[in-house]
Each structure stands twice: as structure tokens, then as C-alpha cells.
């Protein structure tokens, strides 16, 4: 059965924009015969959207499902899965329920999070599509201080944590101000509600009509949905912000990482889509970091010191990484290009401080990769894509938030495209970068490489021509090594610029455009430093 409701919008919109549908489709109902195997009830929901109402991205869809599912099943626990994920082990629900039902575990557990695992990851994983640092390192640490944040998918969450618990004595009008005008939905909050689907196993048109009201785009007007109720709308990373708010309220979470993947999905396997995805995440995290909900000021009184510092580290990660990487990619090189020593001489004892910091950072990241089942080449690929991501995605995501705060730009993001392209998949499996990406992502990478090449080559020429006059090598070794390290680590970009000539290489016009940018940076830098 399919139930549709046509919504007529403002007259200023075209005819296509006026036709907005809510669709409920009962895929199957409970078996009527006692000897038949009962198949779980499956209902498809498509919410209403109109140009005049913001749909609030994924969080808006989740809140519609929260309301509609309350009318149909009102289950106290909900499994959240992205559309490209599927359950690989049906025992995952039993593992999650062990925490909810065990009398020795606290009743304040809001959700049980499983890692995101993917079936299409190649051996090298050159784009870090599996996000290994998050799911194999950070979330394990989070689990020891109250539990990880919501990761968008692969979790069992308690309905009460999102909606709250209420008694029959609760004032009806107060509930309506928070949850909307539907009396039927209010009943699911304060009573032992038994949906019609569960009682008689037959779809009820009346019940579908009630659910239709809950899925309308205007239902949330003048309510608390998205602000204090359900999944929160403050930023595009609704999972992070909702998890942060739940932990701030005193709820806890659990991170489970079984040997057998409980859920499998499809990861992005090309540079352009990975960059878009991380730009969206960076924008959401930065919008929390520079708002009144900043974990540094919003968390201390309600969370443990370690927990709010973990959330702070995540929130400020895009901003701090992009600033530091842009600084390391240009400032030492501009000083090197203009013969200005920035670090102590190699013979100076204070040089050891910089050496220890650099080596310890490398060894720490290498240790984390190796101890979580990776290899040296895995570390190399992760380190390289982290540098690329900081220069591009983290920068654009942070810039988007700053412009939005200044009223110069409105945030707008598209869902990640995971449509399989055979040619891209072949390159990915071979461990070859596909540079068929937007110029906005390629130009910064090429510009950084060209500036470092210019600074390093000039330093070599000066050192050879002047025959190490005045100990030039000893004074400039730190900056020369940094440029050399950046070039070696990002040899893939150099290869895409100069060596490769296939369709997935870096286009010539991008290299020429980046050359102009590099020349401007060198000239402006020289003028300032001189």
C-alpha cells in the first residue's frame, strides 16, 4: 500500500516545486497464519520537502523517522544505518542489548556504537576511506571516558535518550510546545502505546494518516525538534553535536569493535568525493568550535575534564590542522627562499628540541598504525592524505564557517556520491591517485609543491655556487629538510603533474594556474621579508 499526500506550496513556486509528496509504503505486514514464519514489519517512509522549509539534511530525516516509527512500532531501541550500509552479522543486536539489559551496567547508556567498516577498501587505501585513525584509535580512547560520539551509522540508540521520559501527569500543552501538535504522538511518550500494526497485523489507513501529519515539513514549526529534542540541527555533523549534547546531559555510550565486522558499507574511493566529504565534516566541526556550544566553554561543568577535552580536540581539529599545515608549507620555505634562517644551526644544542619533536611525531603515528594492524606503507598513505586533507578540505570547511558567520555565504552541501565508476575503482585498487577533482582541491596542492620546489632548488644552487659560504648548509638545513620531506611525502602530486599523462593526472591548466599562484606568493613573501 502506498499513501501519498500532495502539498500545495506558495504561488510563487513553479508547478514542479508545488508538488511535494509524503510516501508511506508497507513492504510487508505480519503473517496472518499461525504456522507461517513471521517476517518483521517493513515500512518505507519518504518525508515531505518544500522549497520554503529547510529540510535540515540527515538530522531532519532522522527526526521524521523518530516520529513515524513511534506510531508504527514505538520500539525503545533504534538501529541507525546509512543507506549504503547493511548488517553483516545479526548477532550485533544481541551484543548491544547485553549492555542495555545487564543489571551491572548503568542505565544511562544512550547508544552502543560499532565502527564503520567497508567491503570495497583496497589494500593500500590511498584516500584513508576507512577513517582508520578515528575508528581504530580515537574511539577506543573515547570509550574509556564516557564513550564515543555518534558516528552517523552502525549504532543502537535508546529512544528515551533522544526524546526523554515523561509521566502521565506531564502537562499536555508543555509537551505540545516541545513535540508538536499531534496528540497521538504525545501518547507514545507518556503511555504504554501499542501501535495498530503490532496489535492486529493489518495496516491501518488511519494510522498512516496520523503518520502522514508527523512527516510533513511544517510539523516542526514552533517546536523543540532539532534544538533540544531528537537529532539536533545546529550543524551539518548532527551525529557529533547530538552525541556531545547527550554526553553533556549525563548519558554514556559504548564502543564495540568485534573481530567480525558487524556492518559493511561502501566507502568513497576517489579523491574528489573524499575531499567533498571531509569538507562537509570540517565545516560542521568548525561551526561547533567557534560557537557558543564550543566544548571548551559548554562542556566543563557537565562533563569530565578528559571527555570535554576529547570533544574539543575533534571540534578544533580542522581549524588547527589547516592553519599549522599552511604555515609549515609556506613560512619556512619563504624564509629559505630569501636566505633567512628560521631554525637553530645543526651544531646548536637547541636544534635537538626541534629534531626530537619531529621524530617523536613520526614515531607516534607509525606506532599507532602498526599496532592497529597496518604496515609502513599504510602509515605513509595515511600521513600523505592527512597533509592533503589539511591543505584542502580542512581549509575550505573552516573558511566556509567563517564566511557564514560573517554573513557572506550560506552553507550548502551535497550528499557524498558513492556511485561506482569502474575506471575509478580500477585506479583505486592499483593504488593510483585519481586527480579528476575540482580545481579548488587541486590548485592548493600543486601550489604548495611548486613553492617548496622553488625554495629547495634555490637553496641547493646557492649552497653549490657559494661553496657553503658562512656555513649556509648548517644554518638552512632545517628548512631544506622540511621542504625535501614535504616533496618526498607528496611525490604522488609531483608524479601527477609531470610524469603521468593519463586522464586521471593533474591537468596542465591546473599546473599553470598554480604556477601563477606560486610566483605571486614568492614575490609577495620576498617583498614582505625584505
Give the three-state DSSP class for 185. Answer: helix
Q: Cβ(45)–Cβ(64) under 8 Å?
A: yes
User: Rounded to a whole number, what is the distance in angstroms from the first to the last CA of the chain?
Assistant: 76
Give the three-state DSSP class for 151. Answer: coil
Strand-pair partners of 26? 43
CB atoms within 10 A of CB 468: 12
User: What stretches of 116-259 adopt beta strand conformation (E)?
Assistant: 117-118, 155-158, 252-255
What's the rounded Cα separation, in Å, for the pair 47 and 54? 12
Main-chain phi, psi angles of 117, to 5 degrees: -120, 150
What's the rounded Cα separation, in Å, for the pair 171 and 154? 36
Give the three-state DSSP class for 263. Answer: strand
Q: Cβ(129)–Cβ(269) under 8 Å?
A: yes
- Bridge-based pairing of strands 155-158 and 109-113 is antiparallel
Tens digits of pLDDT across the chain (530 residues): 333 343 333 343 333 333 355 666 666 655 555 555 566 777 888 888 888 778 788 888 899 999 998 888 888 899 999 988 999 998 999 999 999 888 877 778 999 999 999 998 888 889 999 999 999 999 999 998 889 999 989 999 999 999 988 776 677 788 888 888 888 888 888 777 777 665 555 556 777 778 888 888 888 888 889 888 999 998 889 999 999 999 999 999 999 999 999 999 988 888 999 999 999 999 999 999 999 999 999 888 888 899 999 999 999 999 999 999 999 999 999 999 998 999 999 888 899 999 999 999 999 999 999 998 888 999 999 999 999 999 999 999 999 998 888 877 665 555 555 556 678 888 888 888 999 999 999 999 999 999 999 999 999 888 777 766 677 888 889 999 999 999 999 999 999 999 998 889 999 999 999 999 999 999 999 999 87
Percent of the chain that is helix, strand, coil (3-state, to 5): 55, 10, 40
Run of H or E residues at 24: strand 20-28
What's the rounded Cα separation, in Å, for the pair 48 and 214? 10
Main-chain phi, psi angles of 129, to 5 degrees: -70, -25
- State the residue for C-alpha cell 637553496: 459
DSSP state letter for 44: E
pLDDT score, position 77: 92
- State the residue for C-alpha cell 502521565: 168
- Domains of the chain (ranges, CATH numbers): 23-267 (3.90.550), 308-529 (no CATH)
How long is the chain?
Answer: 530
Give the three-state DSSP class for 467. Answer: coil
Run of H or E residues at 213: helix 205-214
DSSP state letter for 5: E
What's the rounded Cα separation, in Å, for the pair 9 and 48? 12
Cα maximum dimension of the chain: 95
475 annotated as belonging to a binding site for a ligand: no
57-87 exposure pattern, b = at least 16 Cβ within 10 A, e = fewer: bbbbbbbbbbbbbbbbbbeeebebebeebee
260 annotated as belonging to a binding site for a ligand: no
pLDDT score, position 10: 39
| Burial (0-12, 13-18, 19+ Cβ within 10 Å), 412 | exposed
Closest CA to 62 of 146, 198, 147, 155: 155
- State the residue for C-alpha cell 622540511: 482
pLDDT score, position 5: 40
Main-chain phi, psi angles of 4, to 5 degrees: -120, 145
Question: What's the CA dihedral at 425, 426, 432, 434 to 10 degrees?
Answer: -50
- Kindly report the pTM of this predicted structure: 0.87
Angle 205-214/57-72 helices, nearest 10 degrees?
150
Amino acid at each position: 500500500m502506498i499513501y501519498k499526500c500532495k502539498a500545495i506550496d506558495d504561488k510563487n513556486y513553479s508547478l514542479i516545486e508545488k508538488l511535494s509528496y509524503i510516501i508511506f509504503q508497507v513492504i510487508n505486514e505480519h503473517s496472518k497464519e499461525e504456522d507461517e514464519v513471521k517476517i518483521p514489519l517493513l515500512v518505507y517512509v519518504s518525508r515531505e520537502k518544500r522549497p520554503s522549509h529547510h529540510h535540515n539534511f540527515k538530522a531532519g530525516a532522522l527526526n521524521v523517522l523518530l516520529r513515524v516509527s513511534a506510531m508504527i512500532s514505538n520500539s525503545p531501541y533504534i538501529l541507525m544505518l546509512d543507506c549504503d550500509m547493511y548488517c553483516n552479522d545479526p548477532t550485533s543486536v544481541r551484543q548491544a542489548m547485553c549492555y542495555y539489559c545487564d543489571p551491572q551496567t548503568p542505565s544511562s547508556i544512550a547508544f552502543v556504537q560499532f565502527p564503520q567498516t567497508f567491503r570495497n577498501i583496497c589494500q593500500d587505501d590511498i584516500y584513508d576511506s576507512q577513517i582508520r585513525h578515528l575508528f581504530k584509535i580515537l574511539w577506543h580512547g573515547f570509550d574509556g571516558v564516557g564513550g564515543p560520539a555518534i558516528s552517523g551509522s552502525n549504532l543502537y540508540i535508546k529512544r528515551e535518550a533522544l526524546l526523554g521520559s515523561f509521566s502521565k501527569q506531564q502537562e499536555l500543552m508543555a509537551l505540545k510546545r516541545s513535540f508538536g501538535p499531534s496528540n497521538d504522538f504525545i501518547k507514545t511518550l507518556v503511555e504504554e502505546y501499542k501501535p495498530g500494526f503490532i496489535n492486529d497485523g493489518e495496516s491501518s489507513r488511519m494510522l498512516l494518516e496520523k503518520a502522514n501529519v508527523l512527516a510533513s515539513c511544517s510539523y516542526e514549526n514552533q517546536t523543540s525538534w532539532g534544538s533540544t529534542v531528537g537529532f539536533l540541527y545546529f550543524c551539518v555533523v548532527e551525529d557529533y553535536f547530538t552525541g556531545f549534547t547527550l554526553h553533556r546531559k549525563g548519558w554514556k555510550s559504548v564502543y564495540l569493535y568485534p573481530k567480525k565486522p558487524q556492518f559493511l558499507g561502501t566507502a568513497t574511493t576517489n579523491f574528489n568525493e573524499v575531499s567533498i566529504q571531509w569538507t562537509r565534516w570540517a565545516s560542521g566541526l568548525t561551526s561547533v568550535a567557534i560557537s557558543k556550544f564550543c566544548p571548551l566553554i559548554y562542556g566543563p561543568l557537565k562533563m569530565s575534564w578528559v571527555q570535554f577535552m576529547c570533544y574539543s580536540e575533534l571540534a578544533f581539529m580542522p581549524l588547527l590542522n589547516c592553519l599549522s599545515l599552511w604555515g609549515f608549507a609556506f613560512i619556512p620555505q619563504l624564509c629559505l627562499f630569501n636566505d633567512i634562517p628560521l631554525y637553530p644551526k645543526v651544531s646548536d644544542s637547541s636544534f635537538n628540541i626541534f629534531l626530537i619533536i619531529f621524530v617523536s611525531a613520526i614515531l607516534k603515528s607509525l606506532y599507532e598504525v602498526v599496532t592497529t594492524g597496518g604496515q609502513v606503507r599504510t602509515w605513509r598513505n595515511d600521513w600523505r592524505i592527512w597533509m592533503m586533507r589539511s591543505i584542502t578540505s580542512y581549509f575550505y570547511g573552516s573558511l566556509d564557517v567563517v564566511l557564514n558567520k560573517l554573513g557572506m555565504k550560506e552553507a550548502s552541501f551535497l550528499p557524498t556520491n558513492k556511485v561506482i565508476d569502474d575506471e575509478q575503482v580500477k585506479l583505486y585498487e592499483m593504488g593510483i591517485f585519481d586527480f579528476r577533482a575540482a580545481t579548488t582541491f587541486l590548485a592548493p596542492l600543486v601550489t604548495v609543491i611548486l613553492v617548496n620546489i622553488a625554495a629547495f632548488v634555490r637553496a641547493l644552487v646557492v649552497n653549490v655556487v657559494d661553496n657553503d659560504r658562512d656555513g649556509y648548509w648548517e644554518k638552512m638545513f632545517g628548512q631544506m629538510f622540511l621542504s625535501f620531506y614535504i616533496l618526498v611525502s607528496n611525490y604522488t602530486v609531483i608524479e601527477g603533474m609531470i610524469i603521468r599523462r593519463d586522464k586521471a593526472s593533474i591537468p596542465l591548466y591546473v599546473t599553470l594556474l598554480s604556477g601563477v599562484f606560486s610566483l605571486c606568493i614568492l614575490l609577495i613573501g620576498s617583498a614582505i621579508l625584505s
